[in-house]
Each structure stands twice: as structure tokens, then as C-alpha cells.
Chain A
Amino acid sequence: MRAPDTQPGLEDPAGEAPVVRVRGLVNRFGAQIVHDGLSLEVRPNEIFGVVGGSGTGKSVLLHSILGLRQPQAGTVEIFGRDIRELSPAEQLAMSRRYGVTFQNGALISSLTVAQNIQLPLREAYSLPEDVLDEMVQLNLSLVGLAPDAAGKYPAQLSGGMVKRAALARALSLEPKLLFLDEPTSGLDPISAADFDALLLYLRAELKLTVVMITHDLDSIFRTCNRVGVIVEGHMVTDTLAGILENSTPWIHEYFHGPRARGALEAAHG
């Protein structure tokens, strides 16, 4: 058993079966080729950062993994199961084993935060109301939201609270795998740093595996164990230390630009 608090990038989880495995993924929109045989593996209990320039298909990759989009070619396995070979019932069971947050939170706007968190629970189990309320308390506490957020509607929340509430909803079925699409975008640096800390804390305490699409260099340096960079339709995957050594022009520029240097110093200084 590994200690939960090891520094990102320092552990070696080799030998364990990957939680998510994508092989030979091809996505095209008309003549535009987004993914051209993209492959990646996400190992248990790591935070895997997905990085790429605008329009390189980060969100398309996420949609392909979640089965929201049918790729032109390639296979996607989650927990060792090919998602295309699942029966509808198995698909439902599978989708209950992971949690997802979308870029803008995607909280259902006509429901309160409490009702949003209860939504997957109500669908999956038949629990009495007071237990459902307790579960709301639990998930709000986990993501560090005050209990009075429960009765509010998404439109009444600040950007940071929306991100946290979305995470609370994603956690409500106690998944072991989380997909986060730009969880810190649009947050002030303090909230973003809090979110990073929260993510590290949840990963350590709940043994979560996290796949995170992000542009936030601070967040990458602080939380990610490994990073996958989408370059020209392929994915270059390495540990953070390895990716910093990479000489591919785009990757080098991304991780050695003026903003990256500052973020790196902040994370390790």
C-alpha cells in the first residue's frame, strides 16, 4: 500500500492495470482531423493532466472517453472494459462508477444545489429524504462548501462555488474515478489554489483516480502525477519531470514560457 501523501510524480505505480486506456483514437470533423491515433493510459490513484492548445481536441477526447461521442476509430477502456461492448444496463452501471464535472459546472439550473447532488442518488438508490439530506451534507463538507449553499440555485452561486458544487455532485455516488474539464478555469488564484489542495486531499483520502483537462499551469505543477500533451493529434505522455525535458517545440514552449517558469517556481519554491 502506498502512502497517500507522496509528492506528485515520485511514485511508481507500475504493474497495476490502467483505470482508463485509450488506443488508436481517431476523431474527424469533416476534413479536419482532431485525433489521429491517440493513445493514453491512466494509472490507479494518479492525477493525470490533459494539456493541449486551443482546438487540439481536449474536450473531444473527454467526450469520446465518456461515450458521449462516437469516435471514427479506436477503443476506449474504463476499468478494463471496452465501453462500446457494454449493454445499456452495464453502461448505466459503469457511468455510476465515475464522476464528471463539465467546464461550466453544468449544474441543472432549475434545481437547487441539494437537489443537484441528490439527483444521481435518487436515480440509483431508493433512500429516505433525511438520508438524502445527510448525503448532501456529506458531499458539501467534502468539497468545502457551507451547508447554506444547499438551498441555493446554481445562478445564485459564485464561479468557484459552482465548480465545487459540480464536484460535490460528481462525488455523490462515491466514484473511484473522476473526469474534470477545466476545473480551475475562471477561478481567482486563491480559489484555484484551494481547488488544487482539495483535489490532492480527495485523491489521498478517497483513493481517487483523476483525469483533469486543464490549462492552469499552477494546477498542473501542483497536482498532476503525469501529464499527457496533445500534439498534432497524438498524445505525448510523461511524468511532470519528463515532460519538462521534452524537446517537442510546442511542449517546450508551453512548459518553458514566461508563465510556466513563474508557476514552476511557485510550485517548487
Chain B
Amino acid sequence: MDALALHRDGESWRLELRGDWSLQAMERINRDLEALASPISGRVVCDWARVEHPGLGPIWALLTRLADLGAGRLEVRHEGNPPPTVELLRKLQLELCTSHGKRAVALPMHEGAIARLGRWTVLQGTEAQRLLAFFGRIAAVLGEGLRHLRMLRLRSIVRHVQETGVSAIPIVSLIAFLISVVVAYLGAQQLARFGATIFVVDLVTIAVLREMGVLLTAIIVAGRSGSAFAAEIGVMQLNEETDALRAMGLNPIELLVVPRVLGLIIALPCLTIVADAMGLAGGGLLSLVQLHIPLTQFTIRLREALSPTTFWAGLVKAPVFALLIGMVGAYRGLQVRESARELGRLTTMAVVQSIFLVILADAFFAVLFEQINF
């Protein structure tokens, strides 16, 4: 014990404090205070004569420890020129004890697993309901917008087409090109065993036009723009900008959500066409370099492989995917409340959910097209 020493002094106790009592020495002081085990009662005199740099933290810890040891019935006196802050902290602690009883830092309660599961289940139900209601509100604005075209805010839509569509062309092109090269390459290896390498053209054409072009584009756009929607609208929520809009009699759905969703509905089909073209180009290039199929033969085979609906079977899915991505992004953005952590959590959720919904819808389309022979 080097920060303090306890002596019996006749009827009372004498607590001799010494050395560095600044916050830097807190760890050592706390150890010594913890070691003060013997139950003391009656009167304690604290001697501050040999203390250097007394800090608030250590003094507070000493007062707290003495209160704990004596169960509040200890008579404490301070001698030897105690720092003036002792009196201040003693008063503060007295106030704390009288007004709040026990000293305890309230920490947020932890729930059990079953309670969490229950809460989660209920939440999922209401979430689905709310998302449907949100879709309804968007549809209402759109319906209204058909009658008053001004409500659709052309300027804003154009900006979102630029941000979500035009600026995504390079990355979408690159990924569509590379993936279709990979598919053609792997397909060629398998088909070569049957001497049917020419069917690589069929493989690439149908895979890219029906599925991969639109699906890849939708997933990239969900990552790029779904997250951007959620984050933009989320920060506006945190700054109370959406509240300000509502207070001015403006509808955030009309101003923020509908232009984004419409912009995406225009941009995603266009991006899909770009991705289709780049995918076919990738397949054609690989066929030429790896399989020595000239481009003229590639195009002839391509026309034979295509049925009239192949291209449209991919493209019609694009607006639906766009609606899902835009809606989920905006919906999660509008849910942001209170903190930066919420913003991050909901942005992540927007991306994950929109990708999930896109793939779910794609599966649904696959079954539907099979049934109607599209």
C-alpha cells in the first residue's frame, strides 16, 4: 500500500494519504482502496498533508469507498489542508445519495433469446404490412401524377437517371463483358467434348439475354443506387429535412421517393440493353479468339438461336427489379431515426433485401415464363 495507510488512533481511525493522487495514478489508488477490507466504524480522519496533485477521480473514489465501507454511517473528517474539491465532491455525493438512493449506473437491459425471437417475428409481420402500405403511397402519387404531370418532377427524374443509369454504364459493361467471357469459356470446354463448340453461341445468347444481363445489372444497381437512396434519404431524416418538407405541406414520397423510383425504372432497362450488348460482344470475342468462330458465323448462329421473345424475356423484368430496388432503398432510408449506426444498419439492410427480392422475383418470372411459354 503506497497511496494510503490505515491506523487505529485511539477511538477513531486515521487514514494517511500520500504520494501522487492525480487521475494518472488512479489504477494504483483504486487497488489500495479495494484492499481496505477491515470493517471500520465510528470516526475516520483523512490526512491529506502528504498528497500531491489531488485529482477529482481519486477523491471521488475515496469518498465512494468510505461510504461503502461504513455503510453510510461513518463520520469522515478531512485534515492536513485537504484540496477544496474534497468538500465539493462530498456535497455532490451527498446529493446523489439522498436524491437517488443507491448509486447505480443504469445500463440497457438485455433480453432473452425467446423474447428476441418473438419480437423479431412480430416485427417481420408489421414490416411486410408497412412495405405494402409504402408501395400503395407511391402508387397513389403516381396515379395522381398521371393527371398532373408537373407532380412527377421531370428535372429530378433526369438527375436520377444520370446518377443511377449513365454513370453506371462503365461498371455494368465491364462486368457483363467479363462474366459472359467466363461463361463462354467454361461452356466451350464442356461442349468441345461433344464436338459441339458452335453451341457456345446459343449458350451465351440465351444466358445473357434471358437471365444474366438483367440480373447482373439489377444486382450492381442494387449495390450502387439502392444503398445511395437509403443513405441520402436517411441523412435527410437525421437532419429533419423530411420533417421540414412535411411541415411545408410537401410530400416526401412525391419529392424524394417517386423521382428516384421512376428514374431507376427508366435507367435499369437501358442499362440492361447495354449489358446485353456487352455480354454478346464478350461471347463473340471469346468465340473468335478461343474457338476460331468468325464474327459473321457467330451472328448467323446467334439469329438462329434467338426466338422472338428471348430479348424481351430479359428486358420486361428490368422495370420490376427497378421498382423493387428503388422502393426498398427509399423505404429503409425513411426508417432511419436518431443515430449514425441506424443509418449504416438500414443502408446495409436496403442492399441485402433488394438483392434478395430481385432474385426472388427472377425465380417467379422463370416459372411464369415457363408456364406461358414466353
- The interface of chain A, by Cβ under 8 A from chain B, is 4, 109-110, 112, 114, 125-128, 131, 133-138, 141-142, 146-148, 150-151, 153-156, 173-174, 205-206
A127 touches B64 (CB 8 A): no
A131-B89 in contact given A110-B341, A137-B103, A174-B56 (Cβ < 8 Å): no
Give Cα A156–Cα B56 distance, bound, in whole angstroms. Answer: 28
When C-beta atoms are compared, the residue in chain B nearest to A202 turns out to be: B88
A127-B105 in contact given A174-B55, A174-B57, A205-B84 (Cβ < 8 Å): no
- The interface of chain B, by Cβ under 8 A from chain A, is 22-24, 26-27, 30, 55-57, 60-61, 64, 84-85, 88-89, 92-93, 95-96, 99-100, 103-108, 337-341
When C-beta atoms are compared, the residue in chain A nearest to B109 turns out to be: A151
Give Cα A188–Cα B74 distance, bound, in whole angstroms. Answer: 41
Give Cα A216–Cα B353 distance, bound, in whole angstroms. Answer: 48
B93 touches A151 (CB 8 A): no
* 17 sampled A-B residue pairs with Cβ under 8 A: A4-B84, A109-B339, A109-B340, A109-B341, A110-B339, A112-B108, A125-B24, A127-B26, A131-B26, A136-B105, A137-B60, A138-B92, A141-B95, A147-B100, A156-B338, A174-B22, A205-B88
Give Cα A173–Cα B23 distance, bound, in whole angstroms. Answer: 8
A148 touches B106 (CB 8 A): yes
Contacts of A136 in B (CB 8 A): 105
Q: B-side binding surface: helix, strand, loop or mixed?
A: helix
Contact of A141 among B93, B106, B337, B338 (CB under 8 A): B93
Give Cα A136–Cα B56 distance, bound, in whole angstroms. Answer: 12
B57 touches A138 (CB 8 A): yes
Give Cα A216–Cα B44 distance, bound, in whole angstroms. Answer: 47
Give Cα A147–Cα B99 distance, bound, in whole angstroms. Answer: 10
B338 touches A205 (CB 8 A): no
Name which of A109, A112, A156 has the most chain B CB atoms within 10 A of its CB: A109
A138-B339 in contact given A112-B108, A126-B27 (Cβ < 8 Å): no
When C-beta atoms are compared, the residue in chain A nearest to B85 turns out to be: A205
Contacts of B30 in A (CB 8 A): 127-128, 131
Name which of A112, A142, A150, A174 has the most chain B CB atoms within 10 A of its CB: A174
A147 touches B106 (CB 8 A): yes
A110 touches B340 (CB 8 A): yes
Contacts of A135 in B (CB 8 A): 57, 60
Contacts of A151 in B (CB 8 A): 105-108
Contacts of B96 in A (CB 8 A): 137, 141, 147
Contacts of B26 in A (CB 8 A): 125, 127, 131
Name which of B60, B85, B93, B341 has the most chain A CB atoms within 10 A of its CB: B60
A138-B103 in contact given A125-B24, A131-B26 (Cβ < 8 Å): no
When C-beta atoms are compared, the residue in chain B nearest to A128 turns out to be: B30
B103 touches A155 (CB 8 A): no
Identify 20 new A-B residue pairs, CB closer than 8 A, beyond the known A135-B57, A147-B106, A153-B338. Answer: A126-B27, A131-B30, A134-B57, A134-B60, A134-B61, A137-B105, A138-B56, A138-B57, A138-B89, A138-B92, A141-B89, A142-B56, A142-B92, A147-B105, A151-B107, A153-B339, A155-B338, A174-B56, A174-B57, A205-B88
A141 touches B56 (CB 8 A): no
Contact of A154 among B22, B60, B93, B339 (CB under 8 A): B339
When C-beta atoms are compared, the residue in chain A nearest to B101 turns out to be: A147
Contacts of B103 in A (CB 8 A): 137, 147
